[in-house]
A = this chain, B = another copy of it.
Amino acid sequence: MTPIEGLPSLHLPARDIPIPSSVSAEARAILAAPRQAAAAYPPPDDVPAWKAMIAAQDAAVAAMVDSRPVDAAVTVEDAEFDGVPVYVVTPPGATEGRVYLELHGGALILGGGLICRGMAARTAARIGAQVWSVDYRMPPDHPYPTPLKDCVAVYRALLKDHRPEQIVIGGGSAGGNLAAALLLRARDEGLPLPAALVLNTPEVDLTESGDSFQTNLGLDPVLQRSLMPVNLLYAAGHDLTDPYLSPLFGDFTKGFPPTMLTTGTRDLFLSNTVRLHRALRAAGIRADLHVMEAAGHGGFLGMAPEDTELDREIRRFVDAHWAD
């Protein structure tokens, strides 16, 4: 965040923040877990070092994803549209024709491949609808605009045999960036808009100008530092304030679908989320905001009753907006 010239900073003394009694025991355990110091980001141009960091972090997440059971009745088809790999996941009882187009998270560099596939299966079970999850290409080999183009290509393919009102687009974190950017770009290209959009703790401002990038630093158990080196790797020289990179700065008066946004009071992306909500509302867009008490980025990792309650909220929103 750029300090404002001539305005003083606010000095906060050192503090001990107790684990709150206002959340479930499961959530408290997440908040109380020891935090591991992250390895330093590689230098911008050291591609092998970035790839090694990405591989190590993906391996850790893959182990976590694999450890959670998936409903055996969920089927996964490995598809490809316009050269982009897509996992098409169908849970039992899914309404024919409805598709939840998911853009996975992972800071725009992580979470592809088997992680994307495994997470999509869980989303499908939670949403109760067919999920198409896009395994978009990523940096360092494929920086902006390739990831966004991959997402737009799949949306375009999806529109060939689906009515837009049968489609909901969703994404968390970096996936929320791509979901919102995809909407802006699809709109600008004259494509029809989907029935609705779901953005979970979305990374919609790669400039990190929001207040919570400062105020929640050290409080969020998941995002423990600025992601700026990754944002610059993704942008590859493009302007971070471009709405296709930071959709928070888009013009929503030109049209945008009904949007649900979720975050937590300790989320480093709290400001991202509430600012986008206000921008949408100021433009007259239907937008519903949900903030979880004491939750950092991504809620409580799906392990607390608070997550389950929010999942029900997402399902209600999606079901209310889908056409048959």
Contacts and interface: CB of A to CB of B under 8 A. Distances in A.
A78 interface: no
A274 interface: yes
A1 B21 contact: yes
B309 A211 contact: no
Interface stretch (A68-76, A120-128, A176-184, A276-284): A276-284
A214 to B, nearest CB: 5
A219 B215 contact: yes
A10 interface: yes
Contacts of A15: 11-12, 214, 217-218
A4 B16 contact: no
A174 to B, nearest CB: 20
Interface string A4-43: 1001111111111111111100001001100000000000
A288 interface: yes
Contact of A9 (B17, B22, B265): B17
A271 B289 contact: no
A48 interface: no
Given A1-B20, A9-B17, A291-B291, A265 B211 contact: yes
A182 B276 CA distance: 33
A27 to B, nearest CB: 10
Interface of A: 1-4, 7-23, 28, 31-32, 209-212, 214-219, 265-266, 270-271, 274-275, 277-278, 281-282, 288-294, 306, 309, 313
A18 B3 contact: yes
Given A10-B19, A19-B9, A211-B20, A277 B290 contact: yes
B265 A271 contact: yes
Given A14-B14, A20-B271, 9 more contacts: A1-B20, A8-B32, A12-B14, A13-B218, A22-B271, A212-B265, A215-B219, A281-B313, A289-B289
Given A13-B14, A16-B10, A20-B211, A278 B265 contact: no
Nearest to A291: B274
A225 to B, nearest CB: 13
A314 to B, nearest CB: 11
Nearest to A205: B22
Given A8-B32, A278-B309, A265 B17 contact: no
A12 B218 contact: yes
A62 B13 CA distance: 33
A219 B10 CA distance: 8
Contact of A18 (B4, B18, B19, B288): B4
Contact of A14 (B11, B214, B266, B313): B11
A23 B171 CA distance: 26
23 contacts: A1-B18, A3-B19, A4-B18, A7-B19, A9-B16, A12-B17, A12-B218, A12-B219, A15-B217, A17-B214, A20-B271, A21-B209, A22-B211, A22-B271, A211-B293, A211-B294, A215-B215, A265-B270, A271-B293, A278-B293, A281-B290, A289-B291, A291-B291
